[in-house]
Chain A
Amino acid sequence: MAKLLFDWDYSSYPGAKKYPHLFKPIQIGNLIIPNRIKYAATEDNLNTREGFITDADVAYIRQRAKGVVGGICTMQGVYMDRNRQGQGYVGQAAAWDDKFIPGLRRLAEAIHAERAVAGYQLMHCGRVGAVEVQYCQGPSAVPQRLRIFRPVQEMTKQDIKQCVKEHVEAARRGLEAGFDIMEISGIVGYLISNFISSYTNRRTDEYGGDIRGRMRFVVEIIQEVKKLCGKDVPLGIRLCAEELLDDVRGNSPEESMETYKIAEEAGVDYISVTAGWQESIVPVISRDVPMGSWIHLAKRAKEHVKVPIQMAYRLFKPDLPNQAIGDGHLDMWEMCRPMIADPLMPKKVLEGREEDIRHCVACNLCLARLFRDAPMTCYINPVCAHESDPKYADPEPAEEKKKIMIVGGGPAGLECAYVAARRGHEVHLYEKRNELGGTLIEASKAPYGDDELFNCIRYQKTQCEKAGVTFHLGTEVTEEVIKEELPDSVVLATGPIYSKPKGIGLDRANVVNVLDVLSGKAKVGDKVVVWGNRKPGIGVALYLAKQGKKVTIVGKDKSAGFDVNPSFKWRYMIYLRQNGVTAYNDCDIEEIKEGEVMVKTYDGYRIPVKCDSVVMTEREANPGLKEVVQREGIELFVIGDALVPRNLSSAVHDGYRIGIRI
């Protein structure tokens, strides 16, 4: 008899009518899950370096548990060995001793407190592990392609037996802590995937050879853990449907499907489909990969196995998984990054409040932080990883109600506006243009998925409207306006000013501004020099190169994309190359002439570059109105690019921080 842990009735909710396939129950093993939603295990680096669970992690996971509205909420994968070779992240939770059980229990209880199903994951990080020790483990000592990872030591048969035992022991601790579902991680380059892949498993003993041999280690773990779990606790596994490692002789898709069948035979109750490894040179989850691109993998998995199939991977909007489930290509919708950006995302879908969802922009900053031993951060959600701090995550109403004038309707100003308004302030937002969005209006026109960035503005605008912010569109704030309105506080979110060094020919007609180019107001010739090698420069360079223009980027930073996080930057580097864009980094423009600019390297060499047009993208802080406000004795805040030109994330985070402080 299948067991239902928490009874949920979705029938009265609009989301259940709109997305009927997402909010219907499913049986996994002997457990009934009320809906098709799962927060997939995600590292957050919020725990102690010894692997003990912290208040920050409990609060983080509880928010996500609330979000899944009765579905599965999985805690991050635990490492299981005392030697810490399985540990891939400095703040990863540990489960190699009973002393970790109380912390794990706190997580299970937090998930249950939100009436969600508590998932527990076993994760030995294999060749991407050993973050705190010198050597990591693998089936064979295949050298690392990425230098950030530790050298690999080949596991002996004794090591393998020990590792299986550690999985079982760690699973027991998870059960004692109160988790309802057990999951094994076998993805992206972690130990189990290392055993499965022909790229990393060169063993000639019974743990190597053909795909059945390479699956033997996995099968032993599944069988032993399954024995422990019994009938009542479902056991699942995350496996690669495509490794995307053809360049290093990894598994074929057919072999990967074979692993699914073997895992099913071994006794798993569900399979979570993934694609790619951390070492893959194929993009999988970044913004340049269209949403829904990987659904065919779930469909393929369904054709090979009978157990329920789950998948995340660029399913950022509910219509995609709803359709896929309805079509029989998928059984459960997993999410990591969409619920990092908005932990309550599925709850809002259920309640028919999709306009309140803060959408992930697939920038992968969260991953970049984890790989660099930093706590989780979200580009677009300032509250992420601060859930345990009520002063930050859920600020109290303002003690003194103020009349606040926010100058600038870009992401910084909008974020600040609704946060301050929610706290009870009277907020007036002034924007000189007739529409909201600031420089993001133009920036979101850059290719390779940048249109998704504008979702941020849609969200913020809705929140401002709901919080009662008064918009003054088409109104340029001047000294007179400030004197007339006499607000208690002024927040300058006016965006940057574009650099115009004198005496080098910038007054020529062929010099145009990046915003004018992206908005189509300015025309450029066939040979274009883009001045500035940060994100705005890269965006406009790709925009123009896609139109067939010959583009050269000239910028002062040593490499292009200094302000783009490393987990996304590599994509831009490839696109620049593919589109034939030349980049002179560590360089500046010395002079702009008719048909040519003179580029000067950092050490004084000069290179003439032929061009018809120069696009200015270099930015500076915007001091406008600062003196006026200070002279009037009004409280002043400067945020976003007006303070220091940076990126969208800094604008949003600046806006939030001032919004809760003002």
Chain B
Amino acid sequence: MAFDAEREISRLWGNLHSAQDEIGRTYYRWRQAALKVAGPGFKPLDVSLKAAEVIGTEIGKSFLPRLNWLKGEEVWLMSLANSYAGQWINHGAVVKVEKGSQPFEAFIRWERCPWPTSAKEYGVPMEEDVLCCDKILQTILLDVNVFFNVNYKIETLKAIPRGQGVCLRRLYKA
């Protein structure tokens, strides 16, 4: 059978995009379920932030085996920043990592992100999307900081859901 590379790649590409779209939809379907179970006494933002905390903790644990102190703290930091980026790239985002001008500083730039699109599809306020992302990013650091006995922080400088074109986060040693 003749091999048609274009056909194989386009099929694979299509399936990858469908899977990435499903990640966002699945999250927001679960959000709806959680809100129904929680009932009117709970604010949607509180429920979402709790979910973000659980997600952040889980992702943080998955970072631990990948990070290695052997090549020094600067290399370790870039590897941490790249782990952050990789997590969102898997979901379909375009994320770049740059070294900061200060020692032990890195910038993570989301040039495209599928999450605000999914949030919009399910009628979720854009600010909730930003706050949940922040929560996930910060919670990831909790275990990482304790495990490596360091104190790093991450802060949001710009956010796509706020209409600022990119999400820009600064990861730095506090």
Is B37 at the interface (CB under 8 A from chain A)?
no
Given the contacts A202-B149, A249-B148, A143 and B69 also touching, CB distance less than 8 Å:
no
Is B157 at the interface (CB under 8 A from chain A)?
no
User: Which residues of B in the span 128-163 have a Cβ within 8 Å of any Cβ on A?
Assistant: 143, 146-149
Is B70 at the interface (CB under 8 A from chain A)?
yes
**Which B residues are CB-close (under 8 A) to A146?**
65
Contact indicator B3/A248 (Cβ below 8 Å): no
Is A246 at the interface (CB under 8 A from chain B)?
yes
Q: Which of A142, A247, A590, A606 contacts B68 (CB 8 A)?
A: A247
Is B174 at the interface (CB under 8 A from chain A)?
no
Q: Which of B146, B148, B149 contacts A141 (CB 8 A)?
A: B146
Judged by DSSP, the binding face of A is loop
The interface size of chain A toward B, counting residues with CB under 8 Å, comes to: 21
Is B64 at the interface (CB under 8 A from chain A)?
yes
The CA-CA distance from A372 to B116 in the complex, in Å, is 42
**Which A residues are CB-close (under 8 A) to B149?**
198, 202, 249
The CA-CA distance from A142 to B70 in the complex, in Å, is 19
Contact indicator A246/B70 (Cβ below 8 Å): yes
Q: Which residue of B lies closest to A593 (CB)?
A: B3
Is B11 at the interface (CB under 8 A from chain A)?
yes
B6 smallest CB distance to A (angstroms): 12
Judged by DSSP, the binding face of B is helix
The CA-CA distance from A598 to B3 in the complex, in Å, is 8
**Which A residues are CB-close (under 8 A) to B61?**
143-144, 147
**Which B residues are CB-close (under 8 A) to A147?**
61
B129 smallest CB distance to A (angstroms): 28
How many interface residues does chain B have, given as a range?
A: 10 to 19
Q: Which residue of A lies closest to B71 (CB)?
A: A247
Q: Which residue of B lies closest to A604 (CB)?
A: B11
Is B38 at the interface (CB under 8 A from chain A)?
no
Q: Which of B1, B3, B8, B147 contacts A142 (CB 8 A)?
A: B147
The CA-CA distance from A606 to B3 in the complex, in Å, is 8
User: Which residues of A in the span 601-617 have a Cβ within 8 Å of any Cβ on B?
Assistant: 605-608
**Which A residues are CB-close (under 8 A) to B8?**
605-607
Is A7 at the interface (CB under 8 A from chain B)?
no
**Which A residues are CB-close (under 8 A) to B3?**
598, 606, 608
Is B33 at the interface (CB under 8 A from chain A)?
no
B149 smallest CB distance to A (angstroms): 6
Name, among A141, A246, A248, the residue most crowded by chain B CB atoms within 10 Å (CB to CB).
Answer: A248
Contact indicator B68/A143 (Cβ below 8 Å): no
Given the contacts A145-B65, A248-B69, A605-B12, A591 and B1 also touching, CB distance less than 8 Å:
yes
Would you give the 0/1 interface string for A134-168, flagging 1 where the beta carbon is closer than 8 Å to chain B?
A: 00000001111111000000000000000000000
Q: Which residue of B lies closest to A245 (CB)?
A: B69
Q: Which of A143, A590, A598 contacts B147 (CB 8 A)?
A: A143
**Which A residues are CB-close (under 8 A) to B1?**
590-591, 598
Would you give the 0/1 interface string for A240-253, flagging 1 where the beta carbon is closer than 8 Å to chain B?
A: 00000011110000
Contact indicator A249/B143 (Cβ below 8 Å): no
Q: Which residue of B lies closest to A145 (CB)?
A: B64
User: Which residues of A in the span 570-618 have a Cβ within 8 Å of any Cβ on B?
Assistant: 590-591, 598, 605-608
Contact indicator B69/A247 (Cβ below 8 Å): yes
**Which A residues are CB-close (under 8 A) to B11?**
605
The CA-CA distance from A249 to B3 in the complex, in Å, is 51
**Which B residues are CB-close (under 8 A) to A607?**
8
Given the contacts A246-B69, A246-B70, A143 and B143 also touching, CB distance less than 8 Å:
yes
**Which A residues are CB-close (under 8 A) to B147?**
142-143, 145, 248
Q: Which residue of B lies closest to A146 (CB)?
A: B65
Contact indicator B148/A143 (Cβ below 8 Å): no
**Which A residues are CB-close (under 8 A) to B69?**
246-249
Q: Which residue of B lies closest to A250 (CB)?
A: B69
User: Which residues of B in the span 43-72 have a Cβ within 8 Å of any Cβ on A?
Assistant: 60-61, 64-65, 68-70
The CA-CA distance from A621 to B32 in the complex, in Å, is 53
**Which B residues are CB-close (under 8 A) to A202?**
146, 149
**Which B residues are CB-close (under 8 A) to A145?**
64-65, 147
Q: Which residue of B lies closest to A596 (CB)?
A: B3
The CA-CA distance from A145 to B149 in the complex, in Å, is 14
The CA-CA distance from A128 to B146 in the complex, in Å, is 18
Contact indicator B12/A247 (Cβ below 8 Å): no
The CA-CA distance from A175 to B3 in the complex, in Å, is 75
The CA-CA distance from A144 to B63 in the complex, in Å, is 11
The CA-CA distance from A281 to B12 in the complex, in Å, is 35
Given the contacts A147-B61, A247-B68, A249-B69, A142 and B12 also touching, CB distance less than 8 Å:
no
B22 smallest CB distance to A (angstroms): 16
Given the contacts A605-B8, A608-B3, A142 and B146 also touching, CB distance less than 8 Å:
yes
**Which B residues are CB-close (under 8 A) to A248?**
69, 147-148
A572 smallest CB distance to B (angstroms): 17
**Which B residues are CB-close (under 8 A) to A591?**
1
B69 smallest CB distance to A (angstroms): 5
The CA-CA distance from A145 to B148 in the complex, in Å, is 11
The CA-CA distance from A143 to B61 in the complex, in Å, is 8
A600 smallest CB distance to B (angstroms): 10
**Which B residues are CB-close (under 8 A) to A198?**
149
The CA-CA distance from A198 to B148 in the complex, in Å, is 10
Q: Which residue of A lies closest to B4 (CB)?
A: A606
B35 smallest CB distance to A (angstroms): 28
**Which B residues are CB-close (under 8 A) to A246?**
69-70
A109 smallest CB distance to B (angstroms): 45
User: Which residues of B in the span 1-23 have a Cβ within 8 Å of any Cβ on A?
Assistant: 1, 3, 5, 8, 11-12
The CA-CA distance from A607 to B7 in the complex, in Å, is 11
Contact indicator B146/A247 (Cβ below 8 Å): no
B79 smallest CB distance to A (angstroms): 11
The CA-CA distance from A247 to B66 in the complex, in Å, is 10
Given the contacts A145-B65, A147-B61, A247 and B70 also touching, CB distance less than 8 Å:
yes
Q: Which residue of B lies closest to A601 (CB)?
A: B12
The CA-CA distance from A198 to B61 in the complex, in Å, is 20
**Which B residues are CB-close (under 8 A) to A144?**
61, 64
The CA-CA distance from A198 to B146 in the complex, in Å, is 12
Q: Which residue of B lies closest to A281 (CB)?
A: B68
**Which A residues are CB-close (under 8 A) to B65?**
145-146
Would you give the 0/1 interface string for B61-105, flagging 1 where the beta carbon is closer than 8 Å to chain A?
A: 100110011100000000000000000000000000000000000
The CA-CA distance from A141 to B3 in the complex, in Å, is 55
**Which B residues are CB-close (under 8 A) to A247?**
68-70
Q: Which residue of A lies closest to B65 (CB)?
A: A145
B80 smallest CB distance to A (angstroms): 14
The CA-CA distance from A145 to B143 in the complex, in Å, is 10
The CA-CA distance from A205 to B3 in the complex, in Å, is 68
The CA-CA distance from A114 to B31 in the complex, in Å, is 66
The CA-CA distance from A281 to B60 in the complex, in Å, is 19
Q: Which residue of A lies closest to B144 (CB)?
A: A143
Q: Which residue of B lies closest to A152 (CB)?
A: B146
A443 smallest CB distance to B (angstroms): 31
Q: List 11 A-B contacts (CB under 8 A).
A: A142-B147, A143-B60, A145-B64, A246-B69, A247-B70, A248-B148, A249-B148, A590-B1, A591-B1, A605-B8, A605-B11
Leading 3 A-B pairs by shortest Cβ distance: A143-B143, A247-B68, A145-B64
Given A142-B146, A146-B65, list of 4 further CB < 8 A pairs?
Answer: A202-B146, A246-B69, A246-B70, A247-B69
